[in-house]
Structure 1
Amino acid sequence: MPDDPIPAATLVIFRDRPDAPPELLMVERAKAMAFAGGAMVFPGGRIDPGDHILAQASGAGEDGAARIAAIRETLEEAGLAIGLSPQPSPAQVVAIRARLHAGEGLAAILADERLAIDPDVLVPFARWLPAHAHMRIFDTLFFLVRAPDEAVATVDRTENVRLIWTGAAELLAQADAGHVTIIYPTRRNLERLALYADYDDAVADARAYPVRTITPFTEDRDGVAHLCIPDDLGYPITAEPMSAAMRG
């Protein structure tokens, strides 16, 4: 187990479609990034000290800082205001995002804009804590959330270079064809997300399983080393040959 994993949080943002599986928002990491460079990931990032302060001030629960970090990072990376009340106008979102990029704290920005944070709109989905040597390790909480109506996501073009709305199965097919890169935790989560017909279906399934920390482990299967995860947390595929596994 890594000595100093970086606490982080991410949002799995759903946009239901009437005659197709839901779309998810994915961002492509810049190739120069030390972690998951060039890979498609869910928006999110590390939990900052200010997230803990705001969580305490707002009376958020035990995972409140993670929820606030996921909300803040999504504002920065994709320009989507999730978990804010009342829903800010497009002009407010642009202004908030610019101030976050300039290094201002979210708490002060929300006070100026007369907005409150509502972290309870996020639904806990999973927690991943890989354990591999000589790589940056993140202890990441994943949350489900529905995309705001009429909101338009735009990439920040700093850490990320592109964003797309795509079905989980569609992105897996793109990865299998070699058109995009996804790392091991993202692949396992996409495989699980591909099971859902819509956001409500995803929420029901998420609540049916405990959020237990997932640390992939190696296991020999018929003479082939596999990277595995527990088989009791709702994931349809729980092992992949080490030779094929893409790690961060």
Structure 2
Amino acid sequence: MDLKDMFDPEGELPPAIPAATLVIFRRCEHGGPPQLLMVQRSKTMRFAGGAAVFPGGRVDDADRVLAQKLGAADADAEEEMAARIAAVRETLEETGLALGVAQRPDHAAALQARAMLLELGELGPVLDALGWTLALDSLVPFARWRPKHREIRVFDTRFYLADLGTGAVDLQVDDTENTHLFWASAAEALAMAERDEIKVIYPTRRNLERLALFGSFADAHQHAQDVPVRMITPFMAERDGAPWLLIPDDAGYPVDGEPLEMASRG
């Protein structure tokens, strides 16, 4: 397939797998910009192998069933609610953090929930067993990305923001899909990528550049309210005689692209 066809936003979008990811903020104990939690994916993973990403993953059928149980009013509401449920579930599984839960459980309870989740494979029975309720409104819609290329699996990914608040938390990597967890400000993560200490794929880099604009979760939350979420589908265009991979320049991102040969697409 021609590269232009792969990234032309006017063409037909391929089928995509619904997914969700959670950008988790915490205040830095030494002051300065907020830190974000990132996970380093196993190099054996088919998608974004070896890359540093935000916690998250695909939306499962059980997430949709739970959304229906929680009273999703229609198909659109069900998809939105199921994506938020998937973000909560995947974060708990990958990091041991229970976010988006009204009870604010301690570390021991979160690890208990994580063990149950790994055993049962669904979030609903875990919530019932522990008497937890979801607080999905605490997840702030931030972005939505759906690439066009057909040569690899395509994900329709919704990005949410969540605030952990103050600092010290216990984390536990899942040792299957991911190999390492770390906290860094958005600017620090970009600097690590420039030094080749971590690999970041194109959507992660653009979102880190955007997140680096904010001095606090409150700033990011306000920005997310001011800039409505829209579908981001990267496209190719020429700049100075070279092909660039670009995104719309009015979607809230300070950098709208990079040369195609430099773009890591997972």
TM-score range, shorter chain: over 0.9
- State the partner residue of 2:235: 217
Choose from 48, 53, 58 the match for 2:70. Answer: 58
Q: Which amino acid aligns with 2:228?
A: P
Amino acid at match of 1:209: V
TM-score (norm 2): 0.90
The question of 1:27 aligning with 2:39 is answered: yes
Name which of 230, 236, 239 aligns with 2:254: 236
In 1, the alpha carbon distance for the partners of 2:186 and 2:34 equals 8
Counterpart of 2:203, as a letter, is: P
- Counterpart Cα distance in 1 of 2:84 and 2:184: 23
Aligned match for 1:100, one of 89, 95, 117 = 117
Name the structure 1 match of 2:26: 15
> Which position in structure 1 is the counterpart of 2:15?
4
Secondary structure at the counterpart of residue 26 of structure 1: strand
Instruction: Indicate if the aligned counterparts of 2:27 and 2:165 stay in contact, CA closer than 8 A.
Output: no
2:163 pairs with one of 123, 146, 152: 146
> Where does structure 2 lack aligned partners over 5 or more consecutive residues?
1-11
Partner Cα separation in structure 2 for residue 60 and residue 116 of structure 1: 15
Equivalenced residues, count: 248
Change (3 A) 1:67 1:19: same
- Kept in 1, the 8 Å contact 2:14–2:150? The answer is no
Deviation string, structure 1 residues 92-117 (Cα, Å, up to 9, x no partner): 21111112112342111111111111
Question: Does the CA contact (< 8 Å) of 2:95 and 2:172 recur in 1?
Answer: yes
The aligned runs of 1:1-248 (5 Å cut-off) are: 1-17=12-28, 19-59=31-71, 62=77, 63-147=80-164, 151-248=169-266
Measure, in 1, the Cα distance between the counterparts of 2:159 and 2:140: 9
- Structure with greater proportional strand content: 1
Structure 1 runs of 4+ with >6 Å offset:
none
Cα distance between partner residues in 2 of 1:151 and 1:175: 25
Give the CA deviation at 1:217: 0.2
Shift of 1:164: 0.2
TM-superposed CA distance for 1:29, in Å, is 0.3
- 1:133 CA displacement: 2.7
The alignment partner of 2:38 has SS state of strand
C-alpha displacement at 1:134, in angstroms?
1.1
Q: Which secondary structure does the structure 1 equivalent of 2:264 belong to?
A: coil
Taking the aligned partners of 2:170 and 2:70, their CA distance within structure 1 comes to: 27
TM-score (norm 1): 0.96
SS at structure 1 position matched to 2:84: helix
Mean alpha-carbon deviation: is it higher for 129-138 or for 23-32?
129-138
Whether contact under 8 Å (2:24, 2:162) holds in the other structure is yes
Contact 2:14 2:148 in 1 (8 A): no
- Distance in 1 separating the partners of 2:17 and 2:83: 12
Q: Percent identity?
A: 52
